[in-house]
Amino acid sequence: MSTQNALLTILVEKIKNDTLVLPTLPAVALKVRKAADDPDINLQGMGEVIAQDPSLSARMIKISNSAYMGRSVKVTSVSQAVTRIGLRQIKNIATALAMEQLFVSKNELVGQYMKNEWAKTIDVVANAMATLQLYIARTKKRDMSIDTMALTALVHSIGVLPILTEAERHVEVFASPGFLDDAIDKLSHRIGGSIMRDWEFGDEFVVVAERWQDLSYIPDKLTYIDFVRVGAALAGQVDNQKDAILNLAIQRGVVEDINVLMSDEFADMRSAAKQVFA
């Protein structure tokens, strides 16, 4: 057995034995999610939680003033930003913004993988959000929300993180492009589902993390996974499945015509969504 296959086997065993170290959500995201789940929380209380983190506060104000929110009057305080965004969206947006903190490494190779993974993920997020916006505008259906779409797309490849973290811990054997590419391809989806369960996210997030690349899985009705797949196809994450994904998107009514995904309107929506995480 090659060293690469041996290391892959070790990772598989860690997954089976539940000993693979999974990433934890940044503290600020945990605080916001806990506060959002409190039935007695109000806008003022949520503003106070967010205000404890200067970086998150600044990002929330930026989002509330962005094209993503579609408002022209600028806000200048956390309380105003929270009021504009609303309690329903704050939980997912705060989690999404905090996730960038996970994609860092002191090792040069692993750090580059982290940086590339985050950049690819943001492309998927922006594409998926813009696709959903076009869908809502065309169908007037609002059973899926843009903020949940953003978070779902952000965690679609979260299973890559423990693999890269493992590589950082054992640089001398794990940190090689050949091993990392193979491990990510074979194990990241399974690990992603484990992370979503560990973070106590809903089934929708688990399914996306585990099965977004598995085109044999087709839910009865449109869900976030349909839009994540389109986002990934447009971002070049699945070149070997791009045509199949886009054809499936037409069949399922995600879009009526693929050309709409090449339009100026889509490009503007995609750019606005991407600015949320810039």
What pLDDT, in 10s, does the model give residues 94-123? Answer: 888 888 888 888 888 888 889 999 999 999
Distance of CA 31 to the CA centre of its chain: 19
**Structural tokens at position 140:** 């007037």
| Residue 42, token pair as written in the block | 């109000």
At residue 2 the predicted structure's pLDDT band, cuts being 50, 70 and 90, is: low
Q: What is the pLDDT of residue 85?
A: 82
Q: What is the mean pLDDT of the chain?
A: 87
- Segment 79-87 long-range contacts (CB within 8 Å, at least 24 positions apart): 79/43, 79/44, 79/47, 81/47, 81/57, 82/43, 82/46, 82/47, 82/50, 83/43, 85/60, 87/36, 87/41, 87/42, 87/43, 87/46
pLDDT at 175: 60
Query: Which domains, ranges and CATH numbers included, belong to the chain?
Result: 3-20+100-275 (1.10.3210.10)
Q: 140-164: per-residue pLDDT in tens?
A: 998 998 889 999 999 999 999 888 8
Structure tokens at 192: 């992603």
